[in-house]
Amino acid sequence: MKWFLNLKIFHKIIILIIITMLFELLTVAATYSHSIESKEKMGDIYNNHLLSVLRLNYASALTRGIEANIYEFVLIKDKSRKAKLVIDTELKAKKVLNLISEYEKSELVAFEKKRVKRLHELKEEIRTVYRNILKMKKANKTAEALRYFRENQSKLDDFALLLRELADFNEKFALEVKNEHAKDTDFFNKFVFINVLMGLAVSFGAGLIVSKAISAPIYNVVQELKKDSCGLPDLKEIGNNSKHEIHDLKLALNDIIKNIRRMLEREVFLRNIITMSITSNDIKGVLNTIVTETGKFYNADICFFNKYDTIEQNFTDYIEDYMEYLKPGLIGKISCIKHDRKKFDIFREIIIENRQTFFADNVNTAELPEITKTFLRECNIKSFAIAPVFYEETPLGALFVNYTKSNKNFSEEEINLLESSANQSAIVIYQAKLNTDIEAMRRNFTITLTHDLRSPIFAEQKVLEMLMNSLPDETVKNCREYFEDMYKTNEELLEIINNLLSVYHYESGKAELKVKEESIEKLVNCSARVLKPLVKDRQCEIKIEIEENLPLVYINKREVCRLVTNLVSNAIKHTQKGTKITISAKKQDNDILVSINDNGRGIPEAEQRHIFEKYPAQKRKIGAGLGLYLSKQIVEAHKGKIWFVSEAGKGTTFYFTIPISLPV
C-alpha cells in the first residue's frame, strides 16, 4: 500500500471514486429510468392535481364570500358600505373566473368537463340574479330584492357545491397517484439500500486510508491558518471535496481574504486622503478632501471638521462650507450656521482634554448634556463618532462622522480606523496650514518690507531734491537739518536690515550668544538713555523701578539691550503723546522678571493673538512686524519667557523673564 500512500491526494480521490462507482453503477442504471419517469409523473399529475384542489377550494370560498356580500348588500342602507360591497363582490367574481380559467387549462376528464360546463351555465344565471338585485336596490325595493335573493340563493349553493365536487375529485385522484408512486419507490429504495450497503462495505476500508491521507496535511494547514490569519501557505496540493477539513480551510481562507480586503480598503482610504490632500494648494482643499473621503468611506450622511481655537480653548462656533461633506440627495447642512459653543463643551472635555475618540450608536441614549442632545436632534443626527485631530501635542480640531437616516452600530475596527485617519489627517492639515501660513507670511513680508523701505527712501529723496533746488549761496550749515533727516531715515533702514539679519540667524539656528554675568539694572538704564531723544520727541515720561540687590544674570548684553529697547520704543511709538512708561525689574523665584508698562490705548483684542507673529497683516507701520517677533526670539534664546497683558483704553504691560546665573 506504500505506492497508494505516495500518490497525490487528487489521485487517491480518483481511485476511491472508481472503486465506489463500480458497486454503485448497477444501482444507478437500474433506478435511473424509473426515477426520471416517477418524478415526471409526480410532477405532472400529482402536483397539478393538488394545485387544482387549491384553486377550486379557493374559488368555492370566494363564492361563499360573494353570497355573503350580496346578502349584506340587500339588507344595509349605508351607501358607502354598499359601494365597497359592490367593488369587493366584483373583485371576488373576477378571481373566481380566473381560477376556473386556470383550472380549465389542465387536462380534464369527462367527469370534470361536464361539471365545468355546468359551472359556466350557473355563472350566467348568477350574474343575471346579481344585476337584478342591483336594479331593485337602486329602486329602493329592499324587501323585493331580499325575497328575490332567497329564491335564487340555491344557484350560488349549486355553484359552490360543483367546485367542491371537482376539488374532491382532484384530491382523490392525486392521492391514488401518490400511493401508486409510493409502492414503486419503496421497492426501488430497498433495492438501492442493498446496493449501497455493498458499496459502503467495499469502500469503507479504502475510505479510511484516503481520509487519513487527506485530513492529516489539511489539518496542519488549518492550524497554521488559525495561528496566523495573515499568512498565505501553499495550498496547491489540497483538494476541494472534503466536507470537514477542506470546509474549515475555506473558512480560514475566507477570513484571510476579508482581512486583506479590509486592509486594502483601509490603505486605499488613507492613501487617498494623503494623495489628494497633497495635490491641494491650500488648507481649504485639504479639509474638503478629508471630510469628503471620510464621509464616502464610512457611508456617512454628514461628515465635517470642526477647528479648535487654541486661544479661546474651545471649538469654533462656525463651520465653513468646505469643511463639511453631505451625502448626495440629503439636505440640512450644519456648516455656515453659527452655533452655541456650549453645545460642544462636552466634546472639548472628552475629545481635546482627554484626547479620546467618542461615539454614540444612539443619540437619545448617549451620556451627553441635554443641550448637546437637543442640538444633535435639531440636526437630525441619530448616531455619530468624533475623533480628535492632534499634531504632536497641538489640537487642530475634531473629525465628526454622522448618520441622520438611521442608527449606526460602530465596530471597534471602525473606531480604530477613524482614529488612524484622524492621525493621518493631522499631519496633512498641519502641513497644509503651514504652507498657507508661509505663503501668507511671504506676502505680508513683501508688503511690509516694501512699505518699510519705501517710506524712508521717499523722505530721503525729498531731502535730496530740496538740496538740489537750494540757492547756490546757501552754506552747508544751513542744510544741517536736511542732513539730519537723511541720517535718521538711513538709520531706520539700517535698523530694519539688522532686524532681518537677526531674525534669519535665530530661525536658522546660527545665532551663537556669547554670555557673561551682567546687571539688569545697568542694561535698563542704558536703554533709557538711548531712547531719550525719542522720549523727548513724543513728550513721554519714563520711570524706572529696580529692586535693590538684584543678582547678576548670564546674558548677551547687546541682545538683551536690544530687547528692552524694542519693548520700550514700541510703548513710546504706538501710544499717544504724553504716555507714562514704567520699567520694572525684580527677582521672582529663580528668574529676574522685567516689565514695561504704559498707560496708552492698549492693544485691540483682535490683534493680541498675532502680536508675536512675524509680519502679521494687522501691522502696517514703519519698522513694525519684526520688533516683537525678534524680542521673543531673544528671550527664548536665553531660556526665558515673554508675554503681555493689555486692556483697551488702559494700556499694556509686557513681561519677560531671564533665569538667574544659569549659563545659556
Rounded-to-integer distance, Cα 305 and Cα 287, Å? 7
Residue pair 360/382 in contact by the 8 Å Cβ criterion: no
pLDDT of residue 607: 84
Q: What span, in angstroms and rounded, lies between the C-alpha atoms of 166 and 112? A: 7
What pLDDT was estimated at residue 102? 85
122-128 own/partner pairs: CB under 8 Å, 24+ apart: 122/155, 122/158, 122/159, 122/162, 123/97, 123/159, 125/152, 125/155, 126/152, 126/155, 126/156, 126/159
Return the C-alpha cell found at 549. 540687590
Enumerate the β-bridge partners of residue 308: 315
Mean pLDDT per segment of 10 residues, for the chain of length 664 residues? 57 69 68 65 68 81 84 84 86 86 82 85 86 86 86 85 84 79 73 70 65 64 58 46 53 70 71 66 78 85 84 77 80 64 72 83 85 81 88 85 88 84 77 70 61 64 64 58 64 66 65 82 88 85 91 89 89 83 92 92 85 64 64 89 90 93 55
Cell digits of residue 56: 377550486
Block residue for cell numbers 524706572 = 544
Residue in the structure block whose three cell numbers are 452600530? 409
Per-residue pLDDT, 235: 45
- Residue 301 one-letter amino acid: D
Burial group, residue 661, by CB count within 10 angstroms (0-12, 13-18, 19+):
exposed
SS (H, E, C) 258-322: HHHHHHHHHHHHHHHHHHHHHCCCCHHHHHHHHHHHHHHHCCCCEEEEEEEECCCCEECCECCHH
Residue 438: phi, psi to the nearest 5? -65, -45
Q: How far apart are the first and last CA of the chain?
A: 88
What DSSP designation does 338 have? B
The DSSP symbol for 231 reads: -
Q: Pick the closest to residue 483 from 502, 507, 466 (CA basis).
A: 466
How many CA atoms lie less than 13 Å away from 246 in the CB half-sphere?
12
- Which contiguous run of DSSP H or E holds residue 543? strand 541-546
- What pLDDT is stored for residue 664 in this prediction? 45
What residues does 307 pair with on adjacent strands?
397
Distance from C-alpha of 97 to C-alpha of 108, rounded to nearest angstrom: 17
- For the chain, the C-alpha Rg in angstroms (whole number) is 49
Q: Are 458 and 319 in contact (CB under 8 A)?
A: no
Distance CA 243, CA 598 (A): 90
Cα gap 247→241, rounded to integer Å: 9
Q: Quote the CA–CA distance of 519 and 334 in Å, as a whole number.
A: 59
| Pairing verdict, β 383-391 and 302-309 | unpaired
Its pTM stands at 0.40
At 413, which amino acid appears? E
